[in-house]
Amino acid sequence: MGNEFLLKVSQNYTRSWECGRNELATGSLFTPGTEIQTRSILAQQVDNHRFRVRDEYVLRSHGLQILIYSGEGIVGVCKSPPESLLKLVSDHCGVAVGTVIKVHRRSGAADIAIQ
């Protein structure tokens, strides 16, 4: 019974292993399918500033928060950014550029992607 089973399913196993081997052999590091992942923060507006999608802002780390500037004025603040993003901004002289990717209607807050 064991031998009959092996003879019956061996072709399917061989085919499956061959597909898996081909998938592992295919390089995917520089293929168009790989996407650049962006990290974002949730910024609360200051003084009723209205964020708009695709607007760019200057982000500066200030203690344990990130301040969002437009020109010379503060227009938003992220009070609790992820530690990795805070370190990323701090490692680049405390300054980064961010782009608004989504604005939340009710709160006026914005998701800002760090470049």
Two tokens, residue 13: 């196993």
Q: Is-above-0.85 flag for pTM?
A: no
Radius of gyration for the chain, computed over Cα atoms and rounded to the nearest angstrom:
25
Give the domain range for residue 85: 39-114
Q: How far apart are CA 89 and CA 33, in angstroms?
A: 28
Helix (H) or strand (E) holding 17: helix 2-25
Give how many domains the chain has, as a whole number. Answer: 1
Determine the pLDDT at residue 103: 95
For residue 77, name the pLDDT band (cuts at 50, 70, 90). Answer: very high
Flag whether 105 is in a domain.
Answer: yes
Q: What is the average pLDDT value for the chain, to the nearest integer?
A: 85
Which residues neighbour 94 within 8 Å (Cβ) at sequence distance 6 or greater?
Answer: 60, 61
pLDDT of 12-62, one tens digit each? 777 777 877 877 777 666 666 656 667 889 999 998 899 999 999 999 999
Flag whether 21 is in a domain.
Answer: no
